Amino acid sequence: MNLFFLSPEVWPFARVGGLAEVSHDLPRTLAARGHRVQVVTLKGRMAPEVAETLEPTGITLEVPISWHKYQAQVFKGDLGAGAEVYLIQHDRLYDREGIYGNAFGDYEDNCERFVFFSRACLELAAALGRPVDMVHANDWTNALVPVYLKTLYAEVEPLAGAASLMTVHNLARQGSFWHYDMPLLGLGWECFTPETLELYGKINFLKGGLIFADLISTVSPSYAREMLLPEIGAELQGVLQARRDRLVAVLNGIDNAVWDPATDPHLAAHFSAEDLAGKAVCQRDLREIFGLARDSRRPLVAVIGRLEDRKGLELIVAGLEDMVAMGLDLVIMGYGGDHYHNVLKAAAEANPGRAAVRIGHDMALDHKIMAGADLLLMPSRFEPCGLHQMHAMRYGTVPVVRATGGLNDTVRDHLPDSPGMGFKFQDFTTPAMLEALDRALETFGQGEQWQGLIKRCMWVDFSWQGAAARYEELYQRAIELRRGPGGEGLLCR
């Protein structure tokens, strides 16, 4: 199958969250299973050693944006396992500090930036000239691609007849812009209707993707159910309900070769479920790096990821002093809202040796945290899948999570009469979170029980193979639907 996989963040070229890892691992797994996989992403700012691996293709694209045509250069990289990656360069729009925005908010020209990305992906497929079977769009930034495939590009060889899958990694980010931006899209006003791109008076990219794609997927079964409800549906629940027969869930995986405590080059010592001795060495190393009390027997709790409301940061901030008082030490690494950076830095200063914060994300440190911590705290308000809890489990770090989305699907609660792999809480409140941490603390004090818990975590298999096979089935079904009766879609024409 000739597959185009579109994503604004692909590890190691760019990363904001888990989408970057998914956009690296899944294409590689699919390529290794024999498909021709072309990942298309943006060429933003990246580390010089990563930029060095790219090669110019010599392809110049002419990207139409309203009545202009802008040029974009195309670079090529190698994801390994036979997966190709193409990077779209247009410095005016993409040579910036962040992909979507900075600590003060989204870029104000995001509509143009991501119309450009979507059209450049399609222009690239046209320039490469090989017939495309399947286009896999991910999140709002390329959600216009399924729309374009059934409108402006419906008759453009080699895209004619290409099917599309729209995967939602976060329904809360939709690409919602005022209607004055409509001409940037190159589509007529007949596409600005409640049946197409309009939502509450605004252009909504993700709505377009959900309506025009042949199939829709999301990254965990729980989230697939939750997004049909108003609390999580973020005003798109009606659209999703109407297309419920096209909505499928495929749980993300992790790369077991990259995340392997027995071989991980970032770790101070190696370990496995059979021999856990190295984990204590990893904890000492981590404590030293973060300036935490070195010989503490207190459990070390890690928080890692975007420092945003939806990740439950407000619960962490409100509960931080209680956690320290309960006898937990804390290590936090992430990047997000400026407000959280300041509050967390102040909390760390107020608790020297007990709490430490690193603003930003560093992949080597990410591995060290997963290996060295005892507990990983993820109190998300919602969580489409979440990868950190899977990494943590593989490294024998026990997750404490709110029972939502993928966190609910990957963590089984540890209860007195039924052994689990972590601790879950339901209510999005600080007391509920502290109560789960308290249960964890109690089990931590019971040596054998705790060892059993760690081992059960490490034995779970979250590898990508099963998910990749599911995506293959989805692609086949999408292609059949696209080629079947009514598959061309008559909307907006």
**Site residues (vs ligand GLC, CB under 6 A):** 17-19, 22, 169-170, 219, 252, 383-387, 406
Which lies closer to ligand GLC via its Cβ, residue 148 or residue 475? 475
Helix or strand (DSSP H, E) at 427: none
CB of 423 to ligand GLC, least distance (A): 19
Give 422-430 contacts, CB < 8 A, sequence gap 24+. 422/389, 422/393, 422/398, 422/453, 422/457, 423/398, 423/399, 424/400, 425/379, 425/400, 425/401, 426/402, 428/312, 428/315, 428/379, 428/381, 428/402, 429/315, 430/315, 430/318, 430/319, 430/322
Residues 113 and 243: their CA atoms lie apart, in Å, by 28
Which lies closer to ligand GLC via its Cβ, residue 7 or residue 443? 7
CB of 216 to ligand GLC, least distance (A): 14
CB of 22 to ligand GLC, least distance (A): 5
CB of 223 to ligand GLC, least distance (A): 8
Which lies closer to ligand GLC via its Cβ, residue 16 or residue 318? 16
Which lies closer to ligand GLC via its Cβ, residue 187 or residue 407? 407
State the CB neighbour count (10 A cutoff) for residue 486. 8
Residues 10 and 8: their CA atoms lie apart, in Å, by 7
Residues 370 and 391: their CA atoms lie apart, in Å, by 7
Which lies closer to ligand GLC via its Cβ, residue 204 or residue 217? 217
Q: Please, which residues bridge with residue 37 across strands? A: 3
CB of 57 to ligand GLC, least distance (A): 28
| CA angle (311, 317, 318) in 5-degree steps | 115
Cis previous bond, 158, omega within 30 = yes
> Nearest Cα to 395, choosing from 374, 423, 415, 422?
374
Which lies closer to ligand GLC via its Cβ, residue 389 or residue 397? 389
CB of 16 to ligand GLC, least distance (A): 8
CB of 221 to ligand GLC, least distance (A): 13
Which lies closer to ligand GLC via its Cβ, residue 372 or residue 406? 406
